Amino acid sequence: RTFHGNNRLFTSQIISYYESINRCEKKLPEYFNFASDVLDEWARLEKVDGKKTPNPAFWWINDEGEEVKWSFEELGSLSRKTANVLSVACGLQRGDRVIAVLPRVPEWWLLNVACMRAGIVFIPGTSQLTAKDISYRLQVSRAKCIITNDTLAPAVESVLLGSQFLKSKLIVGQGSRDGWLNLKELL
C-alpha cells in the first residue's frame, strides 16, 4: 500500500524503519524537529516530482462548508512566518511557553507547527476552559504569551491582571482589541 499517494514510500517501509529504530539498529538524531525534519522533507518531495501530492498536508472544513487546504510547502511557509511572529513580534525564545485558548481552527494547527519549528512550548487549551482554568494554567506554566480569538478574549482578559510572566497577547481573527497583537495582520 502506498502512503498518502506517494509511490516511493510504502507503509511497510515506514513500519520497518521504526522497528529498526526500536531495535537500536538506526541511530536517532541528536536533535529532532518535526516541522523541519518531517514537514519540510515532504515539501521537498513535492518539489522533486514537480507536482503536488494528491493529499494535502492540511485540510480543514467547518460546519458551513468553508475549507482550507495547504500543501506541505504552504504549511511550511506559513509556519515559518508564524514562528517569526512569535519570535519577533511577541518576543518569545526557545523554551518559552505559549497558551492557546482556541477552538480547532486552522490557526490552531499552524501555531502548533510554528511552536515546534521555533522550539516554543505549545500548551493547548480548548474553548471550554473557564476563567479559573485559564488563570491556573497561566500561573503554573509561567506562559509568556496567550493566544485566543475575539470571542474568547473577554474571558481570557478577565484573568490576565494577575499574570506576572505574560509578555504578549495574540488574537486570531478579523477584529482588533486594545493591547492585543493580531496574528492575521502580522502574517
Q: Whole-angstrom Cα distance, residue 148 to residue 108?
A: 9
pLDDT of residue 74: 93
Q: Number of C-alpha atoms within 13 angstroms, CB side, residue 26?
A: 9
Is residue 98 within 8 A of residue 108, CB to CB? The reply is no
- Locate 149 and state its grid cell: 480569538
* 77 CB neighbour count, 10 Å cutoff: 13
* 91 against 41, higher pLDDT: 91
Based on its alpha-carbon atoms, the radius of gyration of the chain, rounded to whole angstroms, reads 19
Rounded CA gap, 102 and 172, in Å? 9
pLDDT, tens digit, 9 for 90 and up, residues 55-97: 789 999 999 999 999 988 999 999 999 999 999 999 999 999 9
Q: Is the pLDDT of residue 22 over 90?
A: no
Q: Tell me which residue of 26, 53, 27, 31 sits closest to 42, measured CA to CA.
A: 53
**Class for the domain spanning 34-182:** alpha beta
Query: Residue 19 and residue 13: Cα distance in Å, rounded?
Result: 10
Tell me if 174 sits within 8 A of 83, measured CB to CB: no
Cβ atoms within 10 Å of 51's Cβ, excluding its own:
8
Share of residues in the chain with pLDDT > 90 (%) = 53
